[in-house]
């Protein structure tokens, strides 16, 4: 699983996920749109993949765990976001499209530490209800 690259063609756009050492590389391709949109089944598949790769990293004996002391995400209305390096990763439910919207302002490729990924999984689960 370490070197595999997963490409998901979602409702709008493509999401690429890959393990990158102790992080998960997430890359969004909007395909000339302003965001990626995920159907409920897209969201479930992304959650499952993020969970499996996170578990693999967490169970690696060489992984140095970082304490989770405070939420890393911020909330603005119905939008959840993270400031990661010079980028902002955003998640929210788009009622017009009936889909979870994900976009990144800044770098289109992010290396997410496990604590960020765990929060992302929890928020994706919440938004997918």
What integer pLDDT is reported at residue 6 of this predicted model? 86
d(CA 5, CA 19) in angstroms, rounded, equals 8
- Extents of the domains making up the chain: 5-127
d(CA 80, CA 66) in angstroms, rounded, equals 22
What integer pLDDT is reported at residue 26 of this predicted model? 95
Decide if 91 contacts 120 (C-beta within 8 A).
Answer: yes
What integer pLDDT is reported at residue 111 of this predicted model? 94
> What is the mean pLDDT, run by run of 10 residues, along the chain of 129 residues?
76 94 93 89 96 95 93 96 94 95 90 96 95
């Amino acid at each position: 699983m370490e070197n595999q690259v997963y490409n998901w063609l979602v409702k709008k756009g493509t999401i690429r996920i890959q393990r990158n050492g102790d992080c998960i590389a997430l890359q969004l391709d909007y395909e000339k749109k302003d965001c990626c949109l995920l159907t409920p089944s897209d969201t479930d598949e992304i959650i499952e993949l993020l969970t499996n790769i996170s578990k693999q990293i967490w169970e690696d004996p060489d992984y140095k765990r970082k304490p989770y002391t405070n939420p890393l995400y911020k909330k603005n209305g119905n939008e959840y976001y993270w400031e990661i390096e010079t980028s902002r990763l955003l998640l929210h439910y788009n009622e017009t499209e009936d889909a979870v919207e994900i976009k990144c302002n800044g770098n289109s490729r992010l290396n997410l530490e496990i604590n960020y990924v765990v929060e992302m999984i929890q928020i994706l689960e919440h938004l997918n209800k």
